[in-house]
A and B are shown apart, each in its own frame.
Chain A
C-alpha cells in the first residue's frame, strides 16, 4: 500500500516506521520524521497534525551525540557575544533562523514547544522571514537546550544577526506602512468631506470649513506619504535623470497647491480627496511590490554559519579549545571525525576522508593523508587528524569563493527598470505639452488657463503607467511564492520570460543529494547461516553507525529492527570501509568489494554504488545504494520542453557515464560532467554569447559563482547559504515542476505588463486632447485617472492563477 508520510507527506511505500496514535497507526518515510513526530506528540502538541500542510521535505534525523556536543558551543559566552543580547542580569534575547518551516502550523508548533520549556520568557516566530525571537533566563535554561529542542521537533536552527541590507529592509518596510496608513486615513476623511462638498446643498461658510479641514488633513499626506516621491524626483533631477516620480510629485503637489489656492481665495474647485487617493494607491502599489520582492527569509544573515566557531589547538602540552578567529598561520589544530575543518591547512598526522561537498558539490568523500592539503568548510569523515594552519579564516577558500561570487555578481546587468526608462520620454513630453497648452490658454482665455493646466496634469498623470509594472510584478511574485518559488531580485521575472536554456546541477538538484538503499542481495553463505535481510541490515547499520559518511544515512534509514547489534573494536578504514568484531570474536566488515574480499561480478550503474558486508571474510550481502532522482524531475523536464526550453545538466561528478535513470529523462540539451565551478560559469557565458538566455538551477557552494553569473539563477532551499544568496530565486519545496510554472507566469507577466503599458499610454493619449480643449474638469480627470489605475491593477490580478 502506498501511503504518505504522516509528518512530511512524502510517498511512503514500505511503511517501516510506525507510531501508534491511540488506536490509529501512522507511518513515516524515515527515522527523522518519526522521531520528530514522537517528540511532538509526547509533548502534547499533536494538534499540529490537524493543521499542518506537509511540504514533502523529510525532517532531519535526530541529533547524534557529536552534534549535541557542537550545540553545546552555543552556551559559551564568546560564541554568544555575536548574537545574544543581554538585557539585564540573566535575561537574554536572541534571534534564531529556523530552517524547515513549511506552513503556518509550523510557527504554531515552534512557539508552543519553546514556551513549554522552563526559563523561556517569550518566543515569537515570524512566518514571513522564518526568524524566531527568543527571550530566556540564562540561569534556568542554557541556550543549547533551545537549539536541541528545535532540532528534536524536526527543524534546524542557526543564530541570526541582521546584516546591513536586512536592517535597511526593515526600516523601509516600516516607512512604507507608516506612509500607507497616513495616506489611508487622509483619503477616508477627505472623501467624507468631499461627499458633503459635492452634495451641493451646503452653505458657503460650511463649505469653507470643510475645505480647510480637508486642507489640514492633506498636509501630512503630501509631506509624509508623498514626500519620498519628491525626494526621489529631486535626486533624479540633480543627476539629470527624469523619472516617474517627477510627474507623480508634480501632479500631487500641483493639485494640492491649486486646491490650497482655491481654499484660500474661496473660489474654484478643491481636489484634496483626489490628491489623497492618488497618493494612497501609489504607495500601496509600491509597498506591495516592495514586500513581494524582499520577503526572503534565507538571506540577510551576517553570521557565517557553516564554520564552527571554535576548534582544538595544540598548546604544547595538549589540545585546548580556542576560538577559530584567534588562530594564526602555523598553529596546529586537531580536527575530529565529524567536524568541519575551520581553516585551510596541511595534514601533519593521521589519515582520513574529507567530504568536500560544500565546495565541490559532490558527496563522494576524498581520502586525505599526511601532507595533503585540506580546505576550510570540508567535513572530516572518519578519523581525527592534526592540521597545520596555512590560511586563517580571513583568506581561506570559503572566503575566496565568496570573492569569486562577488565578482560574478558585479558583472551582472543592473536591474533594468523598463517602465521607468520608457517613462522618462513620457515625462518629458507631458511636461512640455502641459506647458504649451498652458501658454495657449493664457493667450486665449487667461482666467481658465490654470484649471485647464491642472486638468491636463491630472489626466496625463502617469498613475496607471507607474502602477502598470509594479502591480503586475507584485502579483506574479506573490503567485510564484505560493507555488514555492521565492523571487529575490527585481529583474528576475523580466529575465525569466526570456529564458531559452535551463541548466541543472545534478547532485542535490535533479537528485535529492542523499543516499538511499536500493536493493539488498543476500549471498548463498548468508542463507546457509539463516540470516534474514533485516538482520543483515541491522548488522550493516551497526557497522555504519560509527561513520559520518553519507552512505551511512542510507542504512540508518533502512534498518527496521530496533534490536541493536553490539560490536566492539569498530575501525574506520578511509576509502575502504569499516571493520568490527562482536563479543564472540567474529569479524565483520562492510565496504568496497576489495575490502570485504568479494569478487565483483556485476558492474554497478553510474550513480549507484555497491557495498558489501562480510563475516570472517565470507560475503553475506551486497547492498546497492543510490542518490535518488527527484520524483518531479521527469515531468518538470517535459513541461519545460513544451515551453520550448532546452534543458542541460552540468555536474561536477567526474563519472562520465550517464546512469540509466538520467538517460530516460527527456533532456533536450547537453550532459556535461566533471565541471569545476569556473568551468560551469564559462559554459554559461559561452552560451550567453551565442545568444541564448540561460537559467541555472543549483545548490552547492561550488554553484554559487555560476548562479551569480547566469541571467537567472534558482537555488534549492536545501542548498548552502552561499548559493542561496547568489541566486535570483529560491525553490522552497524541491518541486522542479514549479520552474516550468514560473516561466509560464513570467511570460504571462510580461504580456500583462505590455497590455497595461499600452492601455495607460492609450488612455493618456485620448484624454490629453480632451483636457487640452478644456472639455474635462479636474474632478472628471481625477475619476478617469482612478478608473484607469483600477483597470491596470485589475489586469495585474489576473496573474493570480
Chain B
C-alpha cells in the first residue's frame, strides 16, 4: 500500500494544476457565453471542411435514398 504515498500527492498536484487551468479559462472569458456553443454544435454546416475523399460519399449518403447502389 506504499503506492498511496505517491498517488495521494500526485492527485493533489493534478487537482492544483486543474484548478489553476480552470482559473485561467475563467479569467480569459471562456465561460462568458454559456448558451451559444451548445446550439452552435448542432449546425451541420461543415461540408466545406470535410477532406475531399470523404466528401462525395457523405453527400451521396444524405441525398441518395439507396446509398449501396453505387457498389
A181 in contact with B39 given A126-B32, A126-B33, A206-B4 (CB within 8 Å): no
B5, B12, B34, B40: the one contacting A107 at CB < 8 Å is: B40
**In the bound complex, how far is the Cα of B33 from the Cα of A125, in angstroms?**
9
Whether A108 contacts B45 by the Cβ 8 Å rule is yes
Whether A181 contacts B22 by the Cβ 8 Å rule is yes
Nearest-CB residue, chain B, relative to A126 = B33
Contacts of B50 in A (CB 8 A): none
Distance in Å: Cβ of B8 to nearest Cβ of chain A: 5
Nearest-CB residue, chain B, relative to A216 = B12
Distance in Å: Cβ of A448 to nearest Cβ of chain B: 31
Whether A128 contacts B4 by the Cβ 8 Å rule is no
A104, A125, A127, A213: the one contacting B11 at CB < 8 Å is: A213
Q: Mark A191-222, 1 if CB is under 8 A from B, else 0.
A: 00000000000010010011001001100100
Distance in Å: Cβ of B13 to nearest Cβ of chain A: 11
A178 in contact with B32 given A108-B40, A206-B1 (CB within 8 Å): no
Whether B42 contacts A128 by the Cβ 8 Å rule is no
Whether B19 contacts A51 by the Cβ 8 Å rule is no
Contacts of B8 in A (CB 8 A): 209-210, 213
Distance in Å: Cβ of A209 to nearest Cβ of chain B: 5
Q: Which residues of A from 117 to 139 have beta carbons under 8 Å from B?
A: 124-128
Whether A104 contacts B42 by the Cβ 8 Å rule is yes
Contacts of B26 in A (CB 8 A): 174, 177-178, 181
**In the bound complex, how far is the Cα of B71 from the Cα of A137, in angstroms?**
50
Interface: A189 (CB within 8 A): yes
Nearest-CB residue, chain B, relative to A221 = B19
Distance in Å: Cβ of A15 to nearest Cβ of chain B: 30
A105, A128, A170, A181: the one contacting B35 at CB < 8 Å is: A128
Distance in Å: Cβ of A176 to nearest Cβ of chain B: 10
Grouping DSSP codes into helix (H, G, I), strand (E, B) and loop, the A interface class, with mixed when no group exceeds half, is helix
Whether B4 contacts A209 by the Cβ 8 Å rule is yes
Please, how many residues of chain A have a CB less than 8 angstroms from a CB on the other chain?
Answer: 30
Q: Mark A411-427, 1 if CB is under 8 A from B, else 0.
A: 00000000000000000
Q: Which residues of B from 29 to 47 have beta carbons under 8 Å from A?
A: 29, 31-36, 39-40, 42-45
Please, how many residues of chain B have a CB less than 8 angstroms from a CB on the other chain?
Answer: 26
Whether B12 contacts A217 by the Cβ 8 Å rule is yes
Nearest-CB residue, chain A, relative to B34 = A128
Q: Which residues of A from 61 to 85 have beta carbons under 8 Å from B?
A: none
Contacts of B1 in A (CB 8 A): 203, 206
Contacts of B40 in A (CB 8 A): 104, 107-108
Contacts of A189 in B (CB 8 A): 11, 15
B5, B11, B15, B43: the one contacting A51 at CB < 8 Å is: B43
B18, B31, B39: the one contacting A104 at CB < 8 Å is: B39
A112 in contact with B18 given A174-B27, A213-B8, A213-B11 (CB within 8 Å): no
Whether B36 contacts A174 by the Cβ 8 Å rule is no
Interface: A182 (CB within 8 A): yes
Distance in Å: Cβ of A127 to nearest Cβ of chain B: 4
Whether A182 contacts B35 by the Cβ 8 Å rule is no
Contacts of A105 in B (CB 8 A): 43
Whether B32 contacts A170 by the Cβ 8 Å rule is yes
Distance in Å: Cβ of B23 to nearest Cβ of chain A: 6
Contacts of A291 in B (CB 8 A): 34
Nearest-CB residue, chain A, relative to B39 = A104
Contacts of A127 in B (CB 8 A): 33, 35-36, 39
**In the bound complex, how far is the Cα of B31 from the Cα of A51, in angstroms?**
25
Interface: A527 (CB within 8 A): no
Q: Which residues of A from 539 to 586 have beta carbons under 8 Å from B?
A: none
Interface: A47 (CB within 8 A): yes
Contacts of A104 in B (CB 8 A): 36, 39-40, 42
**In the bound complex, how far is the Cα of B8 from the Cα of A189, in angstroms?**
11
Q: Mark A83-116, 1 if CB is under 8 A from B, else 0.
A: 0000000000000000000001101100010000
Whether B36 contacts A112 by the Cβ 8 Å rule is no
Whether A174 contacts B43 by the Cβ 8 Å rule is no
**In the bound complex, how far is the Cα of B27 from the Cα of A178, in angstroms?**
9
Contacts of A128 in B (CB 8 A): 33-36
Contacts of B5 in A (CB 8 A): 209
**In the bound complex, how far is the Cα of B23 from the Cα of A177, in angstroms?**
9
Whether B31 contacts A126 by the Cβ 8 Å rule is no
Interface: A185 (CB within 8 A): yes
Interface: A173 (CB within 8 A): yes
Nearest-CB residue, chain A, relative to B23 = A178
Distance in Å: Cβ of B50 to nearest Cβ of chain A: 15
Task: Pick 29 A–B contacts, CB within 8 A, sort by A.
Answer: A47-B43, A104-B40, A107-B39, A107-B40, A108-B39, A108-B45, A125-B36, A126-B33, A126-B36, A127-B36, A127-B39, A128-B33, A128-B34, A173-B31, A173-B32, A174-B26, A174-B29, A177-B31, A178-B26, A181-B19, A185-B15, A185-B18, A185-B19, A203-B1, A206-B4, A210-B8, A213-B11, A217-B12, A291-B34
Q: Which 10 residue pairs of A and B lie closest in terms of their CB atoms, listed nearest first? A: A104-B39, A127-B36, A127-B35, A126-B33, A181-B22, A178-B26, A128-B35, A177-B31, A213-B8, A108-B43
Beyond A104-B36, A178-B26, A206-B4, 10 additional contacts (C-beta under 8 Å) are: A51-B42, A112-B45, A125-B36, A128-B35, A174-B29, A182-B22, A189-B15, A209-B4, A210-B8, A217-B12
